[in-house]
Structure 1
Amino acid sequence: MPYAELTITVPKSVWISELSRAYPETRFRVLAATANTASGVARIEILGDDADTICAEFREYDSVTDLTVFDTEAGTTRVQVETTVPLLLTSLQDSGVPLEMPFEVVDGQMTLEATLPQETLSELGETLDDFGIQYTVERIRQEPESDSLLTERQEWVLDEAIERGYYDTPRRTTLVDLADELGVAKSTCSEILHRAEGRVLKEYRDDDAPSEVVASSS
């Protein structure tokens, strides 16, 4: 299947486009999101020093019906935003593209990377055109059979767990806190970690196993 990398220009009518253009040094990392034709909900990390001002401006948009601030630390603020204009998410869902989380919006643009059947890739271009969303195809290549031990989502969750101290002794974060920080359900986080740990341990065991000795008779 072909691997595609697209730079998508978020329409100016979408609040996150306008805010990211107004604060081009700030990164808006979307950790989780869901949408239908009428509304959408997104868990977002605001990475920058203007989070308080940005949150205040969030609330000024008519299309933003609710904003909840979960926690704030140096340079990072996590919020949940409910909106009545989920244009970008709706267009991607309509094309059948599974949107990998997290993704970032910076200065009005986001990069979409996906390995898709050619038919789905074509439908994505048609859907973006129908919605009037501008995009640039940066790269398309035929993706070889993947030899990666973990999926991208497993790598992301496992890396975040390590970075946040989930595997430290004593632990610096709990499974509940880790799941909340990543914007996923506790059961989902647990399952992803369990599968990733299983693959890593099995790979370690296979690599550590002694070579088989084959006896021969003369």
Structure 2
Amino acid sequence: MIAARFRIELPPETWILEISEGVPDATFRLLAGVRADATAVELGEVTHDDPGAVGDAIEAHPSIVDYEQLAVEDGRGLATYETTDTGLYEFVAAASVPVEYPVLVENGWYEFDFVGGREAFDRFGAGLDELDRSAELLSLVHGDDGTGLLTDRQREVLNAGLREGYFETPRECTLAELAAALDVDKSTASRVLRRGQSTIVAWYLTTADRPSRGTDR
């Protein structure tokens, strides 16, 4: 079983991106949601000095077709709403993984937890590799011995980097040369490398205690 937390840029032209960037000190939590054909019905919470005003901005957004404020008190607002923005559900459906609630949103980014087996993690990682938006692995709280954490593509690119001397100091090949060896564009090689390295580092630092080597090379 693998448990991880990810942070991903919100898709462009979505209501939550516009609202969260417009109120960067607000915290949004998607507590529950279900997709119904062309819309999604969700239960959401906002934490802010003026949650009522943030709720009004959400209700006024063109993609919100129905909105009901359930509670506003002590810097917190709770509401149910229906939206035509279904990008989150399309992404998780393509990756064949369930949404883990709550989904946290702040200033143009969303964070959520993944809990699943190796195959599901591999599918999810492959989906992230295809995104043209920034994505970060924040933590990997359990990963057994670390096997199976990388997608096939990440493993291929990292192995190529090791083989071509990309990780040597000084480097024996540039990113452009590594991309050419893999027959991919430079931005793709960079994205897959970064996410593969992030996965390995997060696993190493957050699983078992590691003996200190005492010095850095």
- 1:40-189 alignment, distance < 5 Å: 40-128=40-128, 130=130, 132-140=132-140, 142-144=142-144
Unaligned runs of 5+ in 1: 145-218
Counterpart AA for 1:69: Q
8 Å CA contact 1:128, 1:134 repeated in 2: no
Unaligned runs of 5+ in 2: 145-217
8 Å CA contact 2:52, 2:72 repeated in 1: no
Residues in 1 aligned to 2:5 and 2:81: alpha-carbon distance in whole angstroms: 27
Deviation of the 1:37 alpha carbon: 5.2
Match of 2:27 in 1: 27
3-state DSSP of counterpart to 1:59: helix
3-state DSSP of counterpart to 2:38: coil
Counterpart AA for 2:58: F
Counterpart AA for 1:25: D
Please provide the CA RMSD for this pair: 2.2
8 Å CA contact 2:10, 2:108 repeated in 1: yes
Shift of the 81–128 alpha-carbon distance from structure 1 to 2, 3 Å rule, reads farther
Residues in 2 aligned to 1:39 and 1:81: alpha-carbon distance in whole angstroms: 10
Aligned length: 144
The Cα offsets for residues 73-105 of structure 1, whole Å up to 9 and x where unpaired, read as 121111112111110133123322222222311
8 Å CA contact 1:66, 1:83 repeated in 2: yes
Deviation of the 1:41 alpha carbon: 1.0
Query: What's the TM-score once normalised by structure 1's chain length?
Result: 0.58
Deviation of the 1:119 alpha carbon: 2.2
Deviation of the 1:7 alpha carbon: 0.8
Query: What's the TM-score once normalised by structure 2's chain length?
Result: 0.59
Residues in 2 aligned to 1:36 and 1:130: alpha-carbon distance in whole angstroms: 26
Shift of the 83–75 alpha-carbon distance from structure 1 to 2, 3 Å rule, reads same
Deviation of the 1:128 alpha carbon: 4.2
Shift of the 12–115 alpha-carbon distance from structure 1 to 2, 3 Å rule, reads same
Deviation of the 1:2 alpha carbon: 2.7
